[in-house]
Amino acid sequence: MEKLPYEKPYIKKLQAGALNKFGSRTGLQPFKSIDGVSVKSLIENYGSPVFVLSEKQIRKNYRAAYRAFSTRYPKVQFAWSYKTNYLNAVCQIFHQEGSWAEVVSGFEYRKALGNGVPGNKIIFNGPGKSINDLQLAIEHDSLIHIDHFDELNLLLTLSKNLVNKPRVAIRINMDTGVYPLWDRFGFNYENGEAWSAVTKITGSGSLQLVGLHCHIGTYMLSADAYGIAANKLAELAVRCQTELNHKIEYLDLGGGFPSTNTLKGAYLPGNDTVPTIDDFAEVITSALLNFGFANDDLPLLILESGRVLIDDAGYLLGTVIANKRLANGKGAAIVDFGVNILFTSFWYEHQVSPAQDFAAHTENMVIYGPLCMNIDVIRESINLPLLNPGDQVVVHKVGAYNMTQWMQFITLRPAVVLIDEKLRTHLIRKNETLEYTAEPELVPAHLNNNK
Amino acid sequence: MKLKSNIATSENGFIFNPATGDSFSGNGMAAQLLEAMKSGKTEDDIKQDILSRYEVSESQLNSDWDNWMLQLKEANLLEI
Ligand SMILES: Cc1ncc(COP(=O)(O)O)c(C=O)c1O
ipTM of the complex: 0.93
* Domains of chain A as residue ranges with CATH: 33-52+313-432 (2.40.37.10), 56-311 (3.20.20.10)
Which CA distances in Å does B41 have to A163, A345, B35, B48, B79?
Answer: 95, 46, 9, 11, 15
**Mean per-residue pLDDT for A360-381?**
93
Per-residue pLDDT, A21:
44
pLDDT of A25 strictly over 60: no
CB proximity A15 to B under 8 Å:
no
CB proximity A322 to B under 8 Å:
no
Structural domains counted in chain B: 1
Per-residue pLDDT, A239:
96
Q: Which of A6, A329, A361 sits opposite B55 (nearest CB)?
A: A6
| pLDDT tens digits along A211-236 | 999 999 888 889 999 999 999 999 99
Q: At B18, is the secondary structure helix, strand, or coil?
A: coil
pLDDT of A265 strictly over 80: no
pLDDT of B52 strictly over 50: yes
**Mean per-residue pLDDT for A288-309?**
93
How far is C-alpha A356 from the geometric centre of its chain's CA atoms? 29
Distance CA B22, CA A295 (A): 71
A9 interaction partners in chain B (CB closer than 8 Å): 26-27, 29-30, 32-33, 64, 68, 71
Per-residue pLDDT, A24:
47
Any atom of ligand 1 within 6 Å of the Cβ of A396: no
Per-residue pLDDT, A87:
98
**Mean per-residue pLDDT for A58-78?**
97
Per-residue pLDDT, A233:
98
Distance CA A418, CA B80 (A): 56
Distance CA A321, CA B53 (A): 27
- A254 C-alpha vs ligand 1 centroid, how far in Å? 6
pLDDT of A34 strictly over 90: yes
Which CA distances in Å does A49 have to A52, A88, A432?
Answer: 10, 21, 12
Probe site for chain B from A4, A7, A10 (most B CB atoms < 10 A): A10
| Residue of A216 and A269 predicted with greater confidence | A216
Per-residue pLDDT, A159:
96
Per-residue pLDDT, A100:
98
Per-residue pLDDT, A15:
67
pLDDT of A257 strictly over 50: yes
A323 interaction partners in chain B (CB closer than 8 Å): 63, 67
Kind plus residue range of the DSSP H or E element containing A228: helix A223-244
pTM: 0.84
| Residue of A279 and A361 predicted with greater confidence | A279
Per-residue pLDDT, A207:
97
Probe site for chain B from A1, A3, A6 (most B CB atoms < 10 A): A6
**Mean per-residue pLDDT for B24-51?**
89
Distance CA A239, CA A92 (A): 38
Distance from CA of B12 to the nearest CA of A (A): 12
Per-residue pLDDT, A266:
73
Q: For A250, phi and psi rounded to 5 degrees?
A: -140, 155
**pLDDT band, very low/low/confident/very high, at A451 (cuts 50, 70, 90):** low
- B25 C-alpha vs ligand 1 centroid, how far in Å? 48
| Cβ within 8 Å of residue A37, ≥6 positions away | A419, A423, A425
| Residue of A312 and A181 predicted with greater confidence | A312
Distance CA A423, CA A163 (A): 50
pLDDT of B11 strictly over 90: no
Distance from CA of B70 to the nearest CA of A (A): 7
pLDDT of A20 strictly over 60: no
Using a pLDDT cut of 70, give the percent of chain A over it.
96
CB proximity A4 to B under 8 Å:
yes
| pLDDT tens digits along A334-354 | 999 999 999 999 999 999 999
Distance CA A361, CA A139 (A): 63
Q: For A436, phi and psi rounded to 5 degrees?
A: -60, -40
Per-residue pLDDT, A264:
81
Any atom of ligand 1 within 6 Å of the Cβ of A311: no
- A380 C-alpha vs ligand 1 centroid, how far in Å? 28
**pLDDT band, very low/low/confident/very high, at A27 (cuts 50, 70, 90):** low
Average pLDDT, chain A: 93
Structural domain containing residue B39: 2-79
DSSP A126-191: -S---HHHHHHHHHTT-EEEE-SHHHHHHHHHHTTT-SSPPEEEEEEE---S-SS---SSSEESTT
